[in-house]
């Protein structure tokens, strides 16, 4: 394993180079092949990993817990009710203490600033398991899945249709880094953050890809190799659900919309899916869907991230 990643925080994909992203993906491929062959190296034998979760989680929590176990580490799940975080103890104090106990901290938070504060005060690497700004581990697994299905990354075209949320932000950065041209279609007022788009555009210039932000889903999916969507109301936005439904309805990933993509285009969704809203059953369960392979790869990429950053 490359030692240059050891000890690094993983807060946002903009902090990593194209080569480092590809290295993580390739190591994920190796660990997946090893698992299929019945081999398992315990890169983190005897170590412990703290998992702070302010938000509910299925795939991220389970994949990180299983990943830590299979690498030989002990995962300590800590939800908001278990901790003094923001309840009299500062994030800085929590970080100082936890990093005396564990080899790394995996944190799913509401505010991205909390991750920045954790990392600034922790001697152990901090890994972003989702924040309001970004979801880098998800996108690393997605890129692994795309390359697995398409045989390459550079030169592909991908459309993201729906809310310009944390997944869209990280997808922009990840795709632009590795040479995938990305078009994001969101309703007016729901586009990805301007600073993320600006950074992604700079990355795309270096990799030879393009970035397009549009309010027309038909424009985004024309002749693309992959189509991605996510829920219209993320955790913490439940009160906006009904209003978002009205605005987002034209951005639903339907069979009709998929007809504008390439015939061999794959369908991705980070899950959980609200079937009948951002994606139809026909598409979710159709032959172009790789959604559950994508979910499986979260385990393999999580193992790669933990091993490379903590071992």
Taking the alpha carbons at both ends of the chain, their separation in whole angstroms is 9
Give me the pLDDT at residue 3, please. 66
Q: What are phi and psi of 266, to 5 degrees?
A: -100, 155
Give me the pLDDT at residue 80, please. 75
pLDDT digits (tens, 9 = 90+) for 152-188: 999 999 999 999 999 999 999 999 999 999 999 999 9
Q: Give the active site residue among 9, 114, 230, 288.
A: 230
Interatomic CA distance for residues 188 and 57, integer angstroms: 29
61 catalytically annotated: no
pLDDT band at 88 (very low <50, low <70, confident <90, very high): confident
CATH number for the domain formed by residue range(s) 138-294 = 3.40.50.1370
Interatomic CA distance for residues 97 and 135, integer angstroms: 25
Q: Give the active site residue among 132, 298, 300, 302.
A: 298
Give me the pLDDT at residue 234, please. 77
CATH fold for the domain made of 3-134+298-310: Rossmann fold (3.40.50)
114 catalytically annotated: no
Q: Give the active site residue among 108, 112, 157, 269.
A: 108
pLDDT digits (tens, 9 = 90+) for 107-144: 999 999 999 999 999 999 999 999 999 999 999 999 99
pLDDT digits (tens, 9 = 90+) for 52-79: 999 889 999 999 999 999 999 999 999 8
Number of helical (H) and strand (E) elements in the chain, helices listed first: 12, 9
Judge whether 63 and 302 are in contact, CB under 8 Å: yes
Interatomic CA distance for residues 274 and 230, integer angstroms: 9
pLDDT digits (tens, 9 = 90+) for 196-245: 999 999 999 999 999 999 999 999 999 999 999 999 987 667 778 888 99
For residue 108, the cross-strand partners are 53
40 catalytically annotated: no
Write the CB contacts of 283 (distance below 8 Å, at least 6 apart in sequence). 253, 254, 255, 258, 267, 289
pLDDT digits (tens, 9 = 90+) for 254-289: 999 999 999 999 999 999 999 999 999 999 999 999
Q: Give the active site residue among 61, 112, 135, 147.
A: 135
Interatomic CA distance for residues 63 and 58, integer angstroms: 8
Percent of residues, the chain, with pLDDT higher than 90: 90
Strands (E), 173-218: 181-185, 211-214
Q: Give the active site residue among 138, 288, 294, 302.
A: 138
Q: Is the pLDDT of residue 86 over 80?
A: no
Percent of residues, the chain, with pLDDT higher than 70: 97
**Which comes out higher in pLDDT, residue 85 or 122?**
122
260 catalytically annotated: no
241 catalytically annotated: no
108 catalytically annotated: yes
Interatomic CA distance for residues 114 and 131, integer angstroms: 9
Give me the pLDDT at residue 82, please. 73
Q: Give the active site residue among 225, 269, 270, 300.
A: 270
**Which comes out higher in pLDDT, residue 82 or 300?**
300
Give me the pLDDT at residue 56, please. 86
- Domain ranges for the chain: 3-134+298-310, 138-294
| Equal fold, 3-134+298-310 vs 138-294 | yes
Q: In what order do the strands lie in the sheet with 104-108?
A: 74-79, 48-53, 104-108, 126-128
């Amino acid at each position: 394993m490359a030692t240059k990643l050891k000890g690094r925080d993983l807060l946002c994909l903009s902090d990593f180079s194209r080569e480092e992203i590809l290295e993580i993906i390739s190591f994920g491929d190796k660990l997946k092949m090893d698992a299929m062959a019945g081999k398992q190296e315990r890169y983190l034998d005897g170590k412990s990993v703290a998992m702070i979760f302010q938000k509910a989680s299925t795939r991220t929590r389970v994949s990180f817990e299983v990943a830590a176990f299979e690498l030989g580490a002990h995962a300590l799940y800590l939800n908001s009710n278990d901790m003094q975080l923001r309840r009299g103890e500062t994030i800085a104090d929590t970080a100082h203490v936890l990093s005396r106990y564990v080899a790394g901290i995996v944190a799913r938070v509401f505010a991205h600033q909390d991750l920045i504060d954790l990392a600034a005060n922790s001697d152990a690497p901090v890994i972003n398991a989702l924040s309001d700004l970004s979801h880098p581990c998800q996108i690393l697994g997605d890129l692994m899945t795309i390359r697995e299905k398409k045989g390459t990354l550079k030169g592909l075209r991908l459309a993201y249709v729906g809310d310009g949320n944390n997944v869209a932000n990280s997808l922009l950065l990840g795709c632009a880094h590795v040479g995938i041209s990305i078009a994001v279609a969101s309703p007016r007022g729901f586009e990805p953050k301007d600073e993320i788009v600006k950074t992604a555009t700079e990355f795309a210039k270096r990799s030879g890809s393009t970035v397009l932000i549009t309010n027309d889903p038909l424009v985004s999916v024309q002749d693309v190799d992959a189509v991605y969507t996510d829920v219209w109301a993320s955790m913490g936005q439940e009160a906006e659900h009904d209003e978002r439904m009205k605005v987002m309805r034209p951005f639903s990933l339907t069979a009709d919309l998929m007809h504008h993509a390439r015939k061999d285009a794959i369908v991705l969704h980070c899950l959980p899916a609200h079937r009948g809203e951002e994606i139809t059953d026909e598409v979710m369960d159709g032959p172009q869907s790789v959604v559950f392979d994508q979910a499986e790869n979260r385990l393999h990429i999580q193992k790669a991230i933990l091993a490379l950053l903590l071992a």
